[in-house]
């Protein structure tokens, strides 16, 4: 059975995908295809290149990627991702979709045309970074003469490429928001509004997901709260293992042509 996984965007919350993938890997569940946006594109590229999920977490912690960011002078954003390209080349030296061990499709937003784009061929690193360019925070990246920004602007949960290519689809979402009864500050208001926006079409998309891992309340974590990286990893890992028997039951039922509840 061909198993696909879709990895949402979500800044530092995307570390949760590594925890999910580690649990699946430990349970000998083989992923055949990956789609991802933003943080999900970064995690997807590393995993598709054969890097162990916990090793990827350690890479993040040891390199402290935020130290590689540089101010984006005379541009419409605060920071530039261009300076991180050499760092990514350490772990993706071939810089190619075609040389990944698992097929990967990532999304980005063509800022010139205002259209969603799926990348799955050619140079890899620049397209992964383009998928992660949060508008206003990171300077848009130029690819083939046009500017690209975060894929989450138009599609933060790119399940579509998996629909006709996989027999079973696992979703990993790191943006769950609990109900609240008060606002902490204006930053809280803006961050919650942003997550609500990217979650707006999730209800419809989840109809196509066979199994979802979505740690409770993770959407409350700030995009750049790097101190929570390890905690987020194990939170998602534990959540996946809690549901692993249910996942295996659904996989067996799907393989036999039985609809599992």
Structure tokens given for 89: 């080349």
- Report residue 86 as tokens: 């050499």
Per DSSP, what are the bridge partners of residue 212?
Answer: 171
Catalytic residue among 108, 131, 132, 150: 150
Query: Which position among 38, 80, 108, 172 bears the catalytic label?
Result: 38
Structure tokens at 98: 């075609």
Is 150 catalytic? The answer is: yes
**Residue 38 annotated to the active site:** yes
CB-based contacts of 151-154 (< 8 A; 24+ apart in sequence): 151/9, 151/37, 151/38, 151/41, 151/106, 151/107, 151/108, 151/109, 151/116, 151/117, 152/8, 152/9, 152/37, 152/38, 152/107, 152/198, 153/109, 154/107, 154/109, 154/115, 154/116
Which residues are the active-site residues?
Answer: 38, 150
């Amino acid at each position: 059975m061909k198993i696909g996984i879709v990895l949402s965007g979500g800044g530092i919350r995307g570390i949760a995908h590594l925890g999910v993938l580690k649990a699946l890997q430990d349970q000998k569940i083989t992923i055949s295809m990956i789609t991802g946006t933003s943080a999900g594109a970064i995690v997807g590229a590393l995993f598709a290149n054969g890097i162990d999920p916990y090793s990827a977490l350690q890479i993040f912690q040891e390199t402290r990627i935020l130290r590689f960011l540089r101010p984006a002078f005379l541009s419409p954003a605060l920071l530039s991702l261009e300076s991180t390209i050499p760092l990514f080349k350490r772990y993706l030296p071939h810089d190619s979709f075609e040389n990944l061990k698992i097929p990967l499709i990532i999304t980005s937003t063509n800022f010139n045309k205002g259209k969603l784009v799926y990348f799955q061929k050619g140079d890899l690193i620049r397209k992964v970074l383009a998928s992660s360019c949060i508008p206003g925070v990171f300077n848009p990246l130029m690819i083939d003469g046009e500017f690209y920004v975060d894929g989450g602007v138009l599609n933060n949960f790119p399940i579509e490429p998996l629909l006709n290519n996989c027999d079973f689809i696992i979703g990993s979402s790191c943006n769950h928001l609990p109900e609240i009864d008060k606002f902490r500050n204006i930053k809280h208001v803006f961050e919650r509004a942003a997550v609500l926006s990217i979650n707006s079409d999730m209800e419809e998309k989840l109809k196509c997901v066979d199994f979802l891992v979505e740690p409770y309340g993770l959407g409350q974590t700030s995009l750049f709260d790097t101190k929570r990286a390890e905690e987020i990893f194990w939170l998602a890992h534990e959540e996946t293992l809690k549901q692993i028997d249910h996942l295996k039951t659904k996989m067996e039922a799907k393989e036999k042509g039985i609809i599992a509840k």
